[in-house]
């Protein structure tokens, strides 16, 4: 590891240096070093690469501590005042139930589509025990995820979120404006209101996304229930094992 920086291009070392500086000082204090200082810093980094490695590790630890603190506060809020955490998010099941299951999901994520099937089975078996809460987390790698989330939000304004939600996952390979309009028409939504509400959806969706970022959600689907969180492909038994008595 000590020889790593000897083989890095100068521009890459300087980029790493800028990152370290930006972590160590307020944004307004960061300035580009003069050539002489540049060379001195490069010499130090080549002789002591562990300095930047330690800085990166310290930054990562600090970030993880902040995430852990945010998750703890969130879990405490969820236990003490679940209605505030749920806010205006779509819910399914008994309210209030002794188990509140928060789901962060993306309509274009294939793992979310699989989880959707498991959650349907869960609510059939435990309808009086679980409240499912849907939070949006459209990933930037999915080109239609945000548009689909906006359409579902608009459907929710007319009381048809879950019907629309189910149709999106059923037709996940056809996501696009034609599908969004077709589903809305089949659900007998007021099309003028639907289209205007789609334009108003982004602030609410971004609020969910900001919460996910604060909690350090690594991807979708991501679940929080009874003080525990888990992500990725799930089995019905996995969720059932976390239900409180």
Instruction: State residue 43's pLDDT score.
Output: 72
The answer to whether 85 touches 225, Cβ cutoff 8 Å, is no
Give 10-residue mean pLDDT values along the chain (245 residues).
45 52 47 65 70 67 70 72 86 80 94 90 85 94 97 98 97 97 98 98 95 87 80 73 70
Cα–Cα distances (Å) from 229 to 16, 103, 225, in that order, read: 33, 10, 6
Taking the C-alpha atoms of residue 147 and residue 177, their distance in angstroms, rounded to an integer, is 8
Domain 81-240: what homologous superfamily?
Answer: Glutaredoxin (3.40.30.10)
Instruction: State residue 75's pLDDT score.
Output: 72
In three-state secondary structure terms, 188 is coil
Backbone CA torsion sign across 36, 39, 43, 45: positive
Instruction: State residue 2's pLDDT score.
Output: 42
Taking the C-alpha atoms of residue 165 and residue 89, their distance in angstroms, rounded to an integer, is 13
For residue 181, count other CB atoms closer than 10 A to its CB: 15
Instruction: State residue 4's pLDDT score.
Output: 44
Instruction: State residue 94's pLDDT score.
Output: 72
Taking the C-alpha atoms of residue 110 and residue 116, their distance in angstroms, rounded to an integer, is 10
């Amino acid at each position: 590891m000590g020889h790593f920086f000897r083989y890095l291009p100068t521009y890459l070392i300087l980029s790493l240096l800028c990152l370290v500086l930006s972590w160590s000082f307020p944004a307004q204090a960061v300035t580009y070093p003069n050539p002489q200082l540049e060379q001195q810093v490069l010499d130090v980094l080549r002789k002591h690469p562990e300095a930047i490695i330690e800085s990166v590790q310290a930054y990562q630890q600090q970030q993880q501590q902040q995430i852990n603190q945010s998750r703890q506060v969130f879990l405490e809020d969820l236990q003490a005042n679940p209605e505030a955490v749920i806010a205006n998010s779509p819910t399914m099941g008994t309210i209030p139930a002794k188990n509140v299951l928060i789901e962060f999901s993306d309509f274009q994520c294939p793992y979310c589509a699989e989880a959707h099937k498991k959650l349907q089975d869960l609510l059939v078996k435990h309808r009086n025990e679980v409240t499912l809460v849907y939070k949006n987390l459209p990933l930037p790698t999915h080109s239609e995820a945000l548009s689909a989330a906006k359409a579902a939000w608009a459907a929710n304004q007319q009381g048809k979120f879950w019907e629309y939600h189910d149709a999106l996952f059923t037709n996940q390979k056809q996501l696009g404006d034609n599908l969004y309009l077709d589903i809305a028409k089949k659900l007998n939504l007021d099309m003028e209101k639907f289209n205007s509400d789609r334009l108003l959806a982004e602030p609410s969706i971004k609020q969910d996304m900001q919460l996910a970022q604060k909690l350090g959600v690594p991807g979708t689907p991501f679940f929080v229930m009874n003080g525990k969180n888990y992500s990725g492909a799930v089995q019905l038994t996995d969720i059932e094992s976390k239900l409180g008595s």
